[in-house]
Amino acid sequence: MPAKNFFSDRFEADRGRLRGLAYRMRGSLPEAEDAVQEAWLRLSRTDASAVDNLSAWLTTVTSRVCLDMLRARKSRREDALDHDAPEPSVSAEDAIEHETILADSVGLALLVVLRSLAPAERIAFVLHDLFDMPFDQIAPIVERTPEAARQLASRARRRVRGEQTLDTNQAAQKSVVDAFLLASRTGDLAGLMAVLDPDVVVRADSVAGGGQTRELRGAQKVAAFYDGKAQTARTALVDGAVGAVVAPLGRLLMVLDVRVDDGRIVEILVTGDPARLKTIALQTL
C-alpha cells in the first residue's frame, strides 16, 4: 500500500480521537477541525520512515497546533482542506448538532473554566488529566521541563476543580440549585414552585435583561419565566458559592448567583455583562 494511502487510512482511524482532544483544547468544533486538518497537512509532508508511532505523533502535533492557535488567537484557517487532505467527517449541516453533543459529553461548565486557563495550562491539563499522557511527553509540547509541565497541570486542576469537597451548606445549596435547573429544563412547574421561596426575587443586569435591568418578584412569576429554560445551564461554583453558568456550546453567556435559605431559593442575580463575567471565579462541580 502506498505510504500516502496508509497514512490517510490511519489518520481517519484517529480522527475522532484527535477531534475530541482538539475540542477540549480549543472549545470550538470548527477550530478543532482546523487543528486536526493542520495535523494532516504536516503528516502529508512527513517522511513515513521518520514516524514510529503514528497515533502518538498525531497527538503531539495536534496538541502543538492547538497551543500555537491558543497563543496566537488566530481566526480559522481557510486553507485547511488543501493538499488532498481527507474530507472532515462533520458536514456543515450537522456541525451545530455535533458540537452540541460534543460539548455535552465534555461538560459545559468544564469548557467554560478551560477557556479561562492560560494556553500552556490548558494543554497540560487536557493531555494529562483527560488523556492520561505522562508529563515527560507533555513537556516538549508546552516547551517546559517535566516538572514544570506537572506544575502547569496542577495549577489548572486547582482552578478547574477547586478542592472538590463541599461543606454542609454548599452541599445543601447544590441539591436545591440542581433541582431548580432540572425542573426548569424539563418544564416542571410544580418542581420549580417546590424550590422557590414565595417571595423570591430575580434581578438581571442590562445584558442579561436584553438591554435593561429587569426584576421579577414572586414564585409564580419566576417559575413561569424559567419554565422550559436552563437548557444550557449547569451547576458551578460562582465565587466560591453554588450557583450556575449558562453556557451554550461551552461559551459563557450568563452567571446565576443563587441565594438559598431554608431549602428554598430566595434570590437569583443574573450577570451577563462580559466585563463582569471575566472577574467571576468559576469552578466545576
pLDDT, tens digit (0-9, with 9 covering 90-100), for 226-269: 999 998 899 999 998 999 999 887 789 999 999 999 999 999 99
Mean pLDDT of 78-82: 37
Would you say 39 and 59 are in contact if contact means Cβ atoms under 8 Å apart?
no
Q: Which domains does the chain have, with CATH numbers?
A: 3-161 (no CATH), 168-284 (3.10.450.50)
- Taking the C-alpha atoms of residue 73 and residue 67, their distance in angstroms, rounded to an integer, is 10
Q: What is the DSSP string of 86-149?
A: PPPSS-TTTHHHHHHHHHHHH-HHHHHHHHTS-HHHHHHHIIIIIT---HHHHHHHHTS-HHHH
Looking at the whole model, is its pTM more than 0.75?
no
> Using CA atoms, how far apart are residues 77 and 129, in angstroms rounded to an integer?
28
The DSSP element (H or E) to which 253 belongs, if any, is none
Residue 243 CB contacts under 8 Å (≥ 6 apart), including other chains: 177, 235, 236, 237, 255, 256, 257, 258
Q: Which of 54-63, 171-180, 243-252 has the lowest mean pLDDT?
A: 243-252
Which H or E run includes 170?
helix 168-186
- Residues of the chain above pLDDT 90, percent: 54
